[in-house]
Amino acid sequence: MPRIIVVGAGIAGSVLAYWLGKHGFQVVVIERSPPGNESGQVIDVEGSAEEIVKRMGVLEQIHSNVTHEAGIRFVDGAGREFGRFPAGKSGVSKEIEIMRPALAEILLTAADSFPNVEFRNNRTVQSIHQTDSRVHVEIKERGNENLSEEEFDILVACDGLRSPTRDMILPLSQRESCVRSVNAFAAFFSIPAEPRDRPWATSYFRPGRRCAFLKPQTEKESSAYLTIAKHDQRLRDARESRDVKLQKEAVAEIFQGQGWETERIVKGMMETKNFYFEEISQVKLEKWSQGRCVLLGDTAYCPSPLTGQGTKLAILGAYILASKLVKDIDNPAEAFEQYDKDMRPYVNKLQPIPLGGYLPKLINPDTAWGVWVLGTIISWLSWFQVWKYVPIPSNESYTLPEL
């Protein structure tokens, strides 16, 4: 049977491994992190993605691990609430919300149940060499200076927004400008929970295009988000440094002493190990494959957290790619072309940032007056329960092939 290497054991990688494994492919999934080291915060599963995980037989497990978020509320600097929207009635709180590590573990376990699927942690790709019929991959194991070289029929790269594997596959002309910043930064992390953190998510705006956000996670932990929706060179330098301490210090300086729960959130950020900081960006490429190598998920078409579509695109993309490989494994060029043909219209529809790309600035005012205006609008919308009278856009689903 065909031998496939999947680089990245996240959501896209595990879904792809599941479906290829189900059809008898020999699948090797490599991941640079140790086992159980998956990080991340609350994500949602809806539409086509929900149907796919249902077909995988894990929807019930996902439901048993949801955060039970009631919706989102908005507060001022003293913690006084001035508006709220129930789950499913806003773009922030969805009906099925789950911690990313929990979802990743469920999907990985499902894929790992096939004897022909192998997960290898603490490994990275060092080089890729393609021939007409094979992909030769040099793999390095952490703590071992020796490289092992293996042959595969296909390589799938789904190792994230800033994928080093993508750089080995695509020519410089295609990859040098594919990651496009939206000039916004976000820190995602977990902090010790307080009873008041549940069941509602809470949002707090500050001048300077800043927002502090808490979402319920478990009885012991809450998810915290600190965002800055404008260019900041110090934050960019901190991100590029990959120095977590430097990143935390840069974010802490911006939010320290800003009212509401910011003191507690900053303190929790400085102490947590589950911390992720990123300059919010998108990936846009004219082509997702090169020879026998293909890109998937955020590596190919990261939409950014601002769209709320990353999980859906990762799961759907993995399913579509699997269906094409199962059908045309002897002709990968045709399989990749059909994957692109079916998936790209969906990506083009879901990837754009709402409100013509101005969403980050419109919901994160720069001035105190702007924050007051935004708060007033939210208060009115909440008071009049506008969601009862405005049709909720249908959760459009892709017509899934049988697999």
Mean pLDDT of 55-60: 96
| Closest among 351, 344, 357 to 398, alpha carbons compared | 344
Output 182 or 356, whichever has higher pLDDT. 182
How far apart CA 344 and CA 333 sit, in angstroms, is: 16
pLDDT at 354: 82
Other CB atoms within 10 Å distance of the CB of residue 105:
17
Whether residue 91 has pLDDT greater than 60: no
In the structure, what pLDDT confidence band is assigned to residue 1 with cuts at 50, 70 and 90? confident
Three-state SS for the chain is CCEEEEECCCHHHHHHHHHHHHCCCEEEEEECCCCCCCCCCEEECCCHHHHHHHHCCCHHHHHCCECCCCEEEEECCCCCEEEEEECCCCCCCCCCEEEHHHHHHHHHHHHHCCCCEEEEECEEEEEEEECCCCEEEEEEECCCCCEEEEEECEEEECCCCCCHHHHHHCCHHHHCCCEEEEEEEEEEEEEECCHHHCCEEEEEEECCCEEEEEEECCCCEEEEEEEECCCCHHHHHHHHHCCHHHHHHHHHHHHCCCCCCHHHHHHHHHHCCCEEEEEEEEECCCCCEECCEEECCHHHHCCCCCCCCHHHHHHHHHHHHHHHHHHHCCCHHHHHHHHHHHHHHHHHHHCCCCHHHCHHHHCCCCCHHHHHHHHHHHHHHHHCCHHHCCCCCCCCCCCCCCC
How far apart CA 277 and CA 40 sit, in angstroms, is: 10
Are 319 and 52 within 8 A, CB to CB? yes
Output 387 or 90, whichever has higher pLDDT. 387
Sheet holding 293-295, edge to edge: 117-121, 26-31, 3-7, 154-157, 293-295, 289-290
pLDDT at 229: 96
Beta strands at 81-86 and 210-216: parallel, antiparallel or unpaired: unpaired
- Among 30-34, 175-179, 387-391, top mean pLDDT goes to 30-34
Whether residue 92 has pLDDT greater than 60: no
pLDDT at 93: 53
Mean pLDDT of 368-378: 97
pLDDT at 397: 65
pLDDT at 371: 97
Whether residue 195 has pLDDT greater than 60: yes
Mean pLDDT of 227-245: 96
Mean pLDDT of 51-70: 92
Whether residue 305 has pLDDT greater than 70: yes
pLDDT at 396: 58
CA distances from 173 to 13, 131, 135, 177, 299 (A): 26, 21, 22, 8, 16
Over residues 315-357, the pLDDT tens digits come to 999 999 999 999 999 999 999 999 999 999 999 999 998 888 8
Amino acid symbol at 101: P
Output 1 or 88, whichever has higher pLDDT. 1
Over residues 5-54, the pLDDT tens digits come to 999 999 999 999 999 999 999 999 999 998 876 666 778 888 899 999 99
Whether residue 95 has pLDDT greater than 70: no
pLDDT at 144: 87
Are 298 and 291 within 8 A, CB to CB? no
Are 133 and 160 within 8 A, CB to CB? no
Mean pLDDT of 184-196: 95
> Which pair of structure tokens corresponds to residue 290?
């090169």
pLDDT at 145: 84
The mean-pLDDT minimum among 47-61, 80-94, 204-218, 345-359 falls in 80-94
**Over the chain, what is the mean pLDDT?**
92
Over residues 134-157, the pLDDT tens digits come to 999 999 998 888 899 999 999 999
pLDDT at 37: 64
Beta strands at 221-228 and 210-216: parallel, antiparallel or unpaired: antiparallel
pLDDT at 393: 56
pLDDT at 328: 95
In the structure, what pLDDT confidence band is assigned to residue 66 with cuts at 50, 70 and 90? confident
How far apart CA 283 and CA 134 sit, in angstroms, is: 27
Output 191 or 98, whichever has higher pLDDT. 191
Output 18 or 1, whichever has higher pLDDT. 18
How far apart CA 388 and CA 379 sit, in angstroms, is: 15
